[in-house]
Chains A and B, each alone.
Chain A
Amino acid sequence: MFQYLSSRVAGIFLFLGLVVLRISAWADANQVWLLGKQLNWGCWFKEHYGFPCPTCGMTRSVILTMHGDFHNAFLLNPAGPFLIAGLLLVALVALRLPLAGLKEIKSRQLALGLSLYGWVFACVMLGQWTFKLR
């Protein structure tokens, strides 16, 4: 019972976090706004070394994905849409929504799947960075 409630609570928190991000943040290809205020963040790595870091564009990409602008999100950083898709999948599994194939999922499969997803996410992040540096 506790396990069931805990995973549901985790799923609800994750969904709420994504909803809050969707409501409170806006972005275009160059800027990010949080609660209507423009954020003047800069990448220290890019300023210092003159080329982008692996996570450059990630904030804008995640927010654009949340607003449905997948094309620009993918152009900024392909890891952004990949991250949101992964988080939504984790939230669905945690909530145990009655979707085909998700009900019977075992915690071992979740553990293996999540760690594999982590490695793929890291490869996507480093892969797009290598591509940008070319």
Chain B
Amino acid sequence: MAENWPPPPSPVAPAMNYALWVDRVLAAIIDGLIALLVMFVLYVLLFLVGGVGSMIIGAGEAAVNTRGEPGGLSGLFGCSTCCLFFILPPVSYFAAGLLNKVYLISKRGCSVGQGLMKLRVVNSHGDIIPIGTAVLRLLCTVGLSFVPVVGGALDLLWPLWDPQRQTLHDKAVGTFVIKTG
């Protein structure tokens, strides 16, 4: 009977073909384009709603513009809203990430960009990560992007000097990105 039992799990993680940094960056750019699309939609929605609202209540027209530019809908685009650089990118990355970085990764092991680059996100045993880990991984990525100046840069560059080529958000949840093709 005993010989039919499955062998105990090996304490040593299987050897993995860790993804190259260039492949990860390319995958991140493709995933970033999806987030950019979501960001553009949110940007248009935000300013259409805000612009129409300000036209209705008159705040846009009445607002003092020190550069002498017209208010209201005419001033909706081409703005230099510093807050949008802080708020919209993480929000859109998170919204796109719920599908791309959580659902797809927990379902098939890779996001759209990672699928195209033949990469796969796995745990230390080489298995696809569960949805809870994927959510935590996304939250860590967004949390790092909230840190101005250094957060995103450190996260992106970390695989360059890491022996297992992990990013910081991989380190946080113990995941690895491997090359499958």
Contact = CB atoms under 8 A, between A and B. Distances in A.
B62 A115 contact: no
B160 interface: yes
A17 B149 CA distance: 10
Contacts, number: 121
Given A45-B83, A48-B71, A55-B83, A87 B150 contact: yes
Interface in B89-116: 90
Nearest to B145: A118
Interface in B38-54: 50, 54
Grouping DSSP codes into helix (H, G, I), strand (E, B) and loop, the B interface class, with mixed when no group exceeds half, is: helix
A82 to B, nearest CB: 11
A122 interface: yes
B37 interface: no
Number of contact residues on B: which range applies? 35 or more
Number of contact residues on A: which range applies? 35 or more
Contacts of A87: 149-150
Interface of B: 50, 54, 59-60, 62-67, 71, 75, 79-83, 86-87, 90, 139-151, 154, 157-158, 160-163, 168-169, 171-172, 174
13 contacts: A14-B149, A44-B75, A47-B71, A48-B50, A48-B75, A50-B59, A107-B158, A111-B144, A112-B140, A116-B143, A118-B143, A118-B151, A121-B146
